Amino acid sequence: MLKNLFGSVVKYKNQDYDALKKESKEKGTLFIDTEFPPDDRSLFFTPNKMQGVVWKRPKQICDNPKLFVEGASSGDVSQGRLGNCWFVAACSCLAQEKEIWNKVIPDSKEQEWSDEKPENYQGIFKFQFWRYGEWTEVVIDDFLPTINDELVFIHSQSKNEFWSALLEKAYAKFFGCYEVLDGGELAEALEDFSGGVSDTIDLIKTGVNTNVEERVKLFAHMKKDMDRRSLMAASIPATSAEEMEASTSNGLVKGHAYGVTEVKNVHLEGSGLFGLFNRDKLPMVRLRNPWGQGEWKGAFSDGSPEWNKISKADREKVGLTFEDDGEFWMTMDDFATNFHNVAICRVVNTSFLSLNKTWHEGLHHGAWKKPNRAGGCMNNRDSFLNNPQYVFEITEDEDEFMVQLMQKSTRNKDGSTNATIGFTLFKVELNRKYRIHNLNLHEKVTSSVFRDSRSMFMKHTGTKGRYVIIPSTFDAGVEAEFLMRVYTDTANAFKELTLDHPEKKWYNCCGGTPKLVTHIKVIRAHGLEKQDVQGADPYCVISCEGERATTLADKNTTDPTWNASAVFYRSNPLKSPLKVQIWNANLLRDSYMGKHIFLSTDELNGQQQEVDLVGRKKESNQTRPGKLIVQITQSRTLTAV
């Protein structure tokens, strides 16, 4: 069975390609797919939506059908009589990345028509789509809908090339019928082709269309993502039915998606153009209209005067052609002011044998369920913490990480069944192992927006420590299933927090049920002993009943600030008090600076304390320079923190 990053390939509707092909060969007949029959049931759920459709096999449409003619390219995909430009644009992106389309169209050479071995052809094809953490193999027959011997839907510019039409059919089967693909989200198709994580950027809301700094930042991100072989597309939403697929004066179409096929700083040597744009290099974006025609008419459009100032050699460097093929270049400035949305699908590499950027993945299938796991967003303050909770770690001083929440929605005749979803990120105690119960004790880092999209994405830079993600629906009591994914530079120990508190410590063989929970926040210290030229590099070690947590060092100071927390579920609070030690980080051997032992077992509700420091062991009666400021919450109710 095929293997991939997410495990074994699932057979859609339990149809096995090899078994079905063998069965057809033994019968001496071409395969007919009873699960997606070549009739109106597979076309539309709206009665009599299209008349005169005849289902034909490729050999009934042309003499020499091929899966690919001279390989796959973004020019192979042209939209038909279906409002699925979002899917067509995604196909254009797919065609650019051979490694990805080899996953989506597996064993393409084996599936290709063979003139030498025509008996191997059984009218059956297979494709693979990623869904909710696993790849699914979809089998189809090769009957395609035609009118007057022309393909009704997606088609290639080469009349005898059929990969894009067959791929569209497999995708239609995957979701129910062709009509279900009429209108959709570009980011979703990109994810389904790659298993990547998609993000849709609103160029207006983020200020990219008006703010030069934001534009420069976005171009740098797009270039970096394109260099990492991300899939990318852009669109201009229509605000009314009249605007839908209407061309603007500059040639761009509203309510339409364009594949982004290149992001480049173009060095226009010797062109005299630097004076015009006041730049050594011009940031530019190349796009493709899925219709295969209809292009941008502004600066740097095909045949525009700006290109006349560029030498032939420079044009060849960027692969410039002046054909009405739907592909065109724009400056980043024009791109940012004319397009409204950009979808970027980062194809996440988790293979440590690869030379490309490698991510560490955390993945979990979850659900919002009543009565105690469907708490709604933070507006529902009393129930918010009843949602599923996930913990992960950042082990570097700083790390850019990605989070995606994807609900397991469906597409049908009523549209999508998406709930309004989002997630909130908290920085928690250094040693948090159980669900959080008190919002006041945990630092909210950030939150995604809430939308009725299939998935929500966030890229964020965080400092070393432990984090909890709480995914939620906007309203409380909404039930749905979801997939949670986290990607970090280093191993992240991602897992769901399922227990409210420990019932019994695993290392205490004699028993020991927790009686007291203590949450301590070491805020800062002042007046510590100077231990080197620039002061010291102090850090704290917080320990209790055999467990310990260590803060980051605050560099070059005797007045450090840590603002770090730890939590301890205590079985023997009288015998094993809470201890905070302060150490100075050194290259060879760390040096001791002082400690304080907290003996109280009273209930404490976030009281802040300034305490003295003492020496180690034999010097425990001697005070050390400095004071430690902490905040302690302590309770016999184990769900108080």
pLDDT tens-place string over residues 308-338: 766 676 667 666 665 556 788 899 999 999 9
Which of 184, 217, 235 lies at the terminal end of a domain, its last residue? 184
Residue 139 has pLDDT above 90, yes or no: yes
Residue entry with tokens 């791929």: 167
Kindly state whether residues 371 and 394 are assigned to the same domain.
Answer: yes
- Say if residue 175 is in the same domain as residue 28: yes
Write the DSSP assignment of 617-637 as a string of letters: GGGTTSEEEEEEEEEEEEESS
* Domain assignment present for 286: yes
SS3 at position 404:
strand
541: left (phi over 0), alpha (psi -120 to 50) or beta: beta
Residue 564's nearest CA partner among 596, 546, 530, 539 is 539
Name the token pair of 177. Answer: 């019928």
CATH number at residue 594: 2.60.40.150
CA separation, residue 159 to residues 60, 76, 90, 155, 168 (Å): 12, 10, 21, 8, 16
Statement to judge: residues 238 and 136 lie in one domain:
no
| Most confident segment among 102-111, 234-243, 286-295, 593-602 | 593-602
Provide the pLDDT for residue 122: 93
pLDDT at position 242, please? 63
Residues 101 and 245 both lie in one domain: no
Q: Which residues pair with 30 in a beta bridge?
A: none
In terms of domains, do 159 and 27 share one? yes
The per-residue pLDDT for 547 is: 94
Q: Which of 85, 93, 177, 540 is catalytic?
A: 85
Q: Are residues 177 and 301 in the same domain?
A: no
On whether residue 444 sits in a domain, the answer given is yes
Contact 594, 569 (CB under 8 A): no
φ, ψ for residue 561 (rounded to 5)? -125, 130
Indicate the residue among 154, 184, 214 that finishes a domain. Answer: 184
Quote the domain boundaries for residue 546: 516-635
207 Cβ neighbours under 8 A, 6+ residues apart: 214
Largest CA distance in the chain: 98
Pairwise CA distance, residues 293 & 230, whole Å: 24
Q: Which two tokens stand for residue 534?
A: 């620039």
CA angle 404, 91, 122 (to 5 degrees): 115
Half-sphere exposure at residue 599, Cβ-oriented, CA atoms within 13 angstroms: 0
What is the average per-residue pLDDT within 110-125?
A: 85
Task: Please say if the pLDDT value at position 454 is more than 50.
Answer: yes
Backbone angles phi, psi at 592, to 5 degrees: -80, 140
Given 346, 376, 407, the domain boundary residue is: 346
| Active-site position among 209, 289, 386, 387 | 289
Note if 256 is an active site residue: yes
8 A C-beta contact, residue 546 and residue 431:
no
Q: In the structure, what pLDDT confidence band is assigned to residue 184 with cuts at 50, 70 and 90? A: confident
Residue 412 is assigned to a structural domain of this protein: no
Residues 6+ apart with CB under 8 A from 53: 40, 43, 145, 146, 147, 152
Counting residues of the chain whose pLDDT is more than 70, the rounded percentage is 87
Distance (Å, rounded) from C-alpha 193 to C-alpha 249? 33
| DSSP 8-state class, residue 421 | E
- Amino acid type, 371: P
Burial of 115 (0-12, 13-18, 19+ CB in 10 A): exposed
- pLDDT at res. 613: 97
* Sign, Cα dihedral of 157, 158, 163, 169: positive
Please report, for the domain that includes residue 292, its CATH number. Answer: 3.90.70.10
In a domain, 392, yes or no: yes
Integer Cα distance of 106 and 127 in angstroms: 7
Give the residue ranges of DSSP H helices in 143-289. Answer: 163-175, 186-194, 212-227, 274-277
Question: How many Cα atoms occupy the beta-carbon half-sphere of 219 within 13 Å?
Answer: 24
Share of the chain above pLDDT 90, in %: 58
Total Cβ atoms within 10 A of residue 532: 11
Please tell me the pTM assigned to this model.
0.84
Residue-level pLDDT at 356: 66
The arithmetic mean of pLDDT across residues 109-123, rounded, is 84
Count of positions (residues) in the chain: 641
- What is the domain count for the chain? 4
What is d(CA 456, CA 402) in angstroms, rounded to the nearest whole number? 11
- 162: pLDDT strictly greater than 60: yes
Whether residue 368 sits in one domain with residue 289 = no
Which of 93, 177, 256, 387 is catalytic? The answer is: 256
Same domain, residue pair 21 and 167? yes
| Beta bridge pairs of residue 630 | 522, 609
Place of tokens 């369920």: 369
| 505: in domain | no
For residue 490, the domain's CATH number is 2.60.120.380
Q: Specify whether 10 is located in the same domain as 90.
A: yes
The answer to whether residue 404 sits within a structural domain is no
| Residue 307 domain flag | yes
pLDDT recorded at residue 4:
38
Residue 622 lies in a domain: yes
Q: What is the pLDDT of residues 413-422, one digit of tens each?
A: 556 678 999 9
Q: Give the Cα separation of 599 and 357 in Å (integer).
A: 49
pLDDT level of residue 303 (50, 70, 90 thresholds): confident
Could you tell me if 555 and 493 lie in one domain?
Answer: no
Are 175 and 201 found together in one domain?
no
| Per-residue pLDDT tens digits for 40-75 | 999 988 887 888 899 999 999 998 898 888 766 555
Q: In this structure, are 277 and 311 located in the same domain?
A: yes
358 pLDDT band, cuts 50/70/90, is: confident
Q: Which residues contact 353 (CB under 8 A, 6 or more apart)?
A: none
CB 375 within 8 A of CB 383: yes
CB crowding 533-570: b at 16 or more within 10 Å, else e = eebbbbbbbbbbbebebbbbbbeebbebebebbbbbbb
Has residue 352 got a pLDDT over 50?
yes
